Structure 1
Amino acid sequence: MSFSEEATSSVPLLSEKHSGIPDFLLEKAKEAKAEVFNTRTKPQSQRNRLPVIPQGVEESAFFKAIDELREQLGSDHVEVNDKPLKDGCVNPNTHDMMYVLDEEELVASAVVYPSSTEEVQKVVLWANKHGIPIFPISMGRNLGYGGAAPRVRGSVVIDLGKRMNKILDISPEDYTCLLEPGVSFFALYDAIKAKGYDHLWIDVPDVGGGSVIGNTVDRGVGYTPYGDHWACHSGLEVVLPTGEIIRTGMGALPNNNTWQTFPYGFGPYSDGIFSQSNFGIVTKMGMTLMPNPGGYEAFIEIIRPLRISNILENVAQLRHVIQTIAVRGQPRSTYYTGSGPIPLDVVRRAAAATPVGDCAWAYYGTAYGPPHIRQHKLAIIDAEFKRVAGARRVDAEVDMPADEYFWARDRVAAGVPDIHELRWVNWVPNGAHVAFSPVSPIRGADAERLFQLARRRHDEFGIDLFPAFCVGLREMHLIVEIVFDRADPERRAAAMACLRAMIDDAAACGYGEYRTHLVLMDQVAGTYNWNDGALMKFNEKLKDALDPNGILAPGRCGIWPRRYRNRGWEMTKASGERSEGNGVGPLPPP
């Protein structure tokens, strides 16, 4: 497909494709796609390419093994990655569409599409037999953190979303559901609405097109009181790296009727080892649903007691106004064509021309409950925030037009999926993003320290600073989105250098990342090094016990199996930005 053809091609609907868009978001999706192509200067690759064979596997043996897998799954469900790499709006399952290294650095050799847990098991047993690394994805929408790219170049990606996308159960009485990996937030929302379950809400992240399981297992968050997605899951079905299938929690009880309602079951609670790890492939998950409720430094200090006392009930956001400008989808050149980070006075002038008005920070929060309860809470919140000089409340019903970003945040806080958020990637041509995501207490001093740390490094590398504080019950995440031109090697290198510097700076101050990009996982894991790296040594023991052949997602979250360990695969600040090591050790004897 040519550049112009892709720019004008239709957006798939949810009724047509598991990864499609709901009808109510179609026009918005078309507008967002047009904005992306308006800023694109990098043409899509059209060159012929050979599949990348993983290290430690002979080419002839690899293709023979692929033929064997085709016999097991059907030839239509095993694809060798020998086509030009396509990114843009198509959400590829072969690489990272928002690559921060060279686009050929982290690519799959092939993609397989199982239709059931039993077929996932077949793929895992096949991988063990041939010593081929595999990398499972739900839908590959982990944008800004590596997307669908495997950490080990040439791994076979297991795409769980295409053929394993069933909603197995929605219980309107228990407020729960049971899902497969290909169920997106869009799909779950549509199914609940189609059944007329208006008393059920789902909690959605900023962009609703990703997998509920994928987001939850990676400990993603949303913005209602159910915003901690991992805390809201209940029971897993997992294929272990050696091919065994287990269920955790109440799912381990045959003919159970409480899988989705009680997460613990009996005995040791093992679910945690399957989040942000490479210890198993989650193929089913129970999830709780939310009942319909009926409806800066100084700021941080105000937010904390309101949040702990649940006057502020959702995951609140305090965002710098530059994101309010950028999320309108217009390129940076609309406002500023100079070099270096955009001056704050330029940002403030641009903000003054919007319905939000001139300000430095914008707070987005939500009150839930019957109208009189909401009004009581909002009056308390308003009084507290106005203790800050210059703070003002925007009357959304009067001041905010229907297409203003505020309403996207309003919908997300009400459990309605949206796609508005990523419009800020259009800030630069060929826009991509990668995030710095440290966790801290909810204190003004911590907010100031992290903000200044990020400001100093962004100024050093000539990057515009996009900070947002997401406030939980007793902790907050600072999410700094670095937006860069993925077609420009210098800007990719600047983004990486800035991130690596901030990770070390934050760790020196006692702040750790809660989630990170594939190529930064080794560095982030290395900051959790209390007691001579005791936690990583424990994780490595688990990895070697559960995955003796080292085939499942080697390197994910910095956990390397024995065959790869200490062979130069780890990517750190000192190692350079090459993802591959120096060979792979032999398979252990059977």
Structure 2
Amino acid sequence: MNSTSTESAIAEWTVILGDSGVIAADAADFGASTTGTSRSIPAVLCPENQEQVAAILKVAQRWQVAVYPVSTGNNWGYGSANPVENDCVILDLSRLDRISDFDPELGVVTVGPGVTQGALREFLDRHEGNYLVPVTGAGPTCSILGNALERGYGITPITDHFAAVTKIEAILPDGTLYRTPLSELGGAEVDGLFKWGLGPYLDGLFSQGNFGVVVNMTIALAPAPDTVTAFFFSTKDDARLEALVPTVRAVLRTLGGSVVAINLLNSQRMLSMMTPFPEGKAIDGVLPAHEVESLANTHGVPAWSGVGAIYASKEVAGAARRTLRRLLGPVTDRLVFINRRKVAVARNISRVLPGRLAARVKGMADTLSGALEIMHGTPNDVALALAYWRSGDLPGAGQPKNPARDGCGLIWFAPLVPIRGQDVRRYIDMIERICPRYGVNPLITLTTVNDRCFDSTVPLLFDRRDADSTARANDCYRALLDAGQKEGFLPYRLNIDAMGILNTGGSAFSRLASQLKAAVDPNYILAPGRYVPRIKRSEVL
């Protein structure tokens, strides 16, 4: 790509989008990233419909200028809105925010890339849609479509967000519209009701790929159950982890219809939600073991905490509570059940308590309320406060949190771990061995993605204002990747600086992916380097 080609393409895009649809080079909002990564961004394009997207790609092909699509750009911890490679023009799809084809009887809805978790919740509330939004901890401003394409997950049914996708429409790199065979043959409605369609399943190419710009996605929504009851459990003894892990598996297999996911959190991860980071007690940015133990004792934090939810009728929920007591009782010290009514009672009690105790009870009630709302399919930014634990300035009351804009340092390491006690212990040892070497506190969450496998999210938190701290955090990520590859703990998604892990040279995956890419995008103008390795043409043929 050269500057003359880019300038010529921008001139044509300005005709298509108007002056307001083309944002100047290196726009600050788009270049900010919690990972500390910086990319050269010639311009940002803001189309309002899929016809403009198609026109943009045709211009990109003509001038061979690379474009990088983002849904809302809030891919915090993985690169935010930054492209994998330098000099890509950002294709900001946030204005494609239409919600359509909602079927309240069958529970399917079609969303554009700009539809956020919060927007879908508001839409369903307005249209009496008694369904759960597929929420994540990333907050109300994040894209439903973007998260599904990255194979994000949550703890509400349906936990696997790409599994909920039934139909995709995309603009291919040459500007043509891709639709599945059932839709092309006139069966658009049934196409949105059946994930696999007809013939080869090509929709999967658009998940963690760079084969087209997805402009519409139909998803199946989980119906809101009669009751949602959160359950919290804990063990003070770290040595019981090996017994707790298979019990979690047993819970999911026994109660799979009503308990869909469980989180396990270590003491440091819990402390990050309960107390400001004690900078004065840290050594090289890391809390020593005795300080962690002291803080845990002060705040009553156990070695391991767990959380899940029961989605069921009142009758089934009662039976599920009894089963949970039977299964979890022998391997935990505490098991409690919480619903909205109990949180309201705690808030009322806090009003009559003396000062400090009242604040503590109200804070606990507020945290529980935020967690419960997420379990009810209502997004909020309670979990997003984690990004601010080591750096960043919390926005004022009523302002949405935006870790990239607010200066937070965050890189997610998100490997898959078998639900076996010995494997989890081996994994925990790896994290606790490597993270402190790089000034990173080992905050660990293990979330079940099914009854066989955890995804573990480890936030590498650092001070983004400090170049050395930023470099060490990125070195920590690479060290975790290397160790995880040797130990068998590999991530389910990658940040923009880690895509090279897939460039395995002569592997069958690399060859096939590159052959498919070359067939639909021979000039590599769409999101170059994103998940599909860039291989020389001679190696593809």
For residues 234 and 219 of structure 1, the distance between their equivalents in structure 2, rounded to whole angstroms, comes to: 14
Q: For the residues of structure 1 that align with 2:134 and 2:289, how far apart are their CA atoms?
A: 34
1:234 aligns with 2:166: yes
* Residues in 2 aligned to 1:350 and 1:500: alpha-carbon distance in whole angstroms: 30
Are 2:513 and 1:539 equivalent residues in the alignment?
yes
| Residue aligned with 1:424, SS | helix
Cα distance between partner residues in 2 of 1:78 and 1:194: 33
Residues 1:97 and 2:97 are matched in the alignment: no
Give 1:395 deviation, angstroms: 5.4
What does residue range 407-486 of structure 1 map to in structure 2 within 5 Å? 407-430=369-392, 431-473=408-450, 474-486=452-464
The change in CA–CA distance for 1:71 and 1:511 in structure 2 (over 3 A counts) is same
Higher helix share: 2
Who is 1:309 aligned against?
A: 254
Match of 1:514 among 486, 489, 492: 492
Match of 2:218 among 279, 283, 286: 286
1:391 equivalent in alignment to 2:333: yes
Distance 1:290 1:124 in 2: 35
The structural deviation recorded for 1:375 is 2.2
CA drift of 1:325 comes to 2.0
**Cα gap change, 1:338 to 1:371, in 2 (>3 Å):** same
Partner AA of 2:247 in structure 1: I
**In the alignment, which residue of structure 1 is the partner of 2:133?**
202
Please tell me the residue identity of whatever aligns with 1:427.
W
Cα gap change, 1:427 to 1:353, in 2 (>3 Å)? same
The residue type paired with residue 250 of structure 2 is: P
Aligned residues: 489
Question: Pick from 498, 511, 528: which aligns with 2:476?
Answer: 498
User: How far apart, CA to CA, are the structure 2 residues paired with 1:332 and 1:564?
Assistant: 55
Could you say which residue in structure 1 is the equivalent of 2:233? none
Trace 1:400-411 onto structure 2 (pairs within 5 A).
Answer: 401=362, 403-411=365-373
Number of the residue aligned with 1:21 = none
Q: Post-superposition shift, 1:125?
A: 0.5
Name the SS of the counterpart of 2:31 in structure 1.
coil
Deviation at 1:494, TM superposition (A): 1.1
Whether the 8 Å contact between 1:135 and 1:553 is mirrored in structure 2 is: yes
Q: Deviations over 1:105-149 (max 9, x none)?
A: 314210111111111110110000001010000100111011100
Q: Classify the secondary structure of the residue corresponding to 1:387.
A: helix
On the 8 A contact 2:46/2:93 being kept in 1, the answer is yes
Question: Match for residue 132 of structure 1?
Answer: 65
SS at match of 2:514: helix
SS of corresponding position for 1:366: strand
The answer to whether the 8 A contact 1:385-1:391 is kept is no
Please give the secondary structure, in 2, of the residue aligned with 1:327.
helix
Q: 1:154 aligned to 87, 96, 102, which one?
A: 87
> 1: CA distance between counterparts of 2:189 and 2:513?
33
Q: CA deviation at 1:250?
A: 3.4
> Equivalent residues in 2 for 1:178-257 (5 A)?
178-197=110-129, 199-206=130-137, 207-248=139-180, 250-254=182-186, 256-257=188-189
Contact 1:112 1:157 in 2 (8 A): yes
Normalising by structure 1, what TM-score?
0.79
Q: Give the residue type in structure 2 aligned to 1:314.
A: V
Partners of 2:92 and 2:326 lie apart in 1 by 50
Moved more, 199-208 or 131-140: 199-208
Cross-structure match for 1:122: 55
Q: Secondary structure at the match of 1:555?
A: coil
- Between the aligned residues of both structures, percent identity stands at 27
Q: Quick one: distance in 1 between partners of 2:312 and 2:469? A: 46
How many angstroms does 1:292 deviate by?
A: 1.3
Rate the CA distance shift 1:344–1:512 in 2: closer, same or farther, 3 A.
same
Separation in 1, partners of 2:306, 2:36: 30
Would you say 1:72 and 2:16 are equivalent positions? yes
**Distance across 2 between alignment mates of 1:116 and 1:412:** 31
Corresponding residue for residue 588 of structure 1: none
Q: Which amino acid aligns with 2:471?
A: A
How far, CA to CA, are the matches of 1:116 and 1:79 in structure 2?
17
Q: Given the alignment of the two structures, is residue 559 of structure 1 paired with residue 533 of structure 2, yes or no?
A: yes
The one of 263, 266, 281 aligned to 1:336? 281
Q: Equivalent residue for 2:237?
A: none
- Of 374-383 and 453-462, more deviation after overlay is shown by 374-383
Distance in 2, matches of 1:307 and 1:138, equals: 33
Q: Which of the pair has the greater relative contact order for Cα pairs under 8 Å at 6+ separation?
A: 2
Asked whether the equivalents of residues 170 and 178 of structure 2 are also in contact (C-alpha less than 8 Å), the reply is yes
Q: Which SS does the other structure have where 2:411 is aligned?
A: strand
Contact 1:95 1:150 in 2 (8 A): no
The CA deviation at 1:247 is 0.9
Measured after TM superposition, the shift of residue 558 of structure 1 is 4.7
TM-score in terms of structure 2 length: 0.85
Q: Displacement, 1:329?
A: 6.5
SS at match of 2:97: coil
Structure 2: how far apart are the matches of 1:246 and 1:196?
32
Structure 1: gaps of 5 or more residues = 1-55, 86-91, 567-590
What amino acid maps onto 1:538 in structure 2? Answer: L
The question of whether the paired residues in 1 share the 8 Å contact of 2:134 and 2:144 is answered with no
CA distance in 2, matches of 1:160, 1:132: 18
**How far apart are 1:492 and its partner, in Å?**
1.2
The Cα of 1:232 is off from its aligned counterpart by 0.4
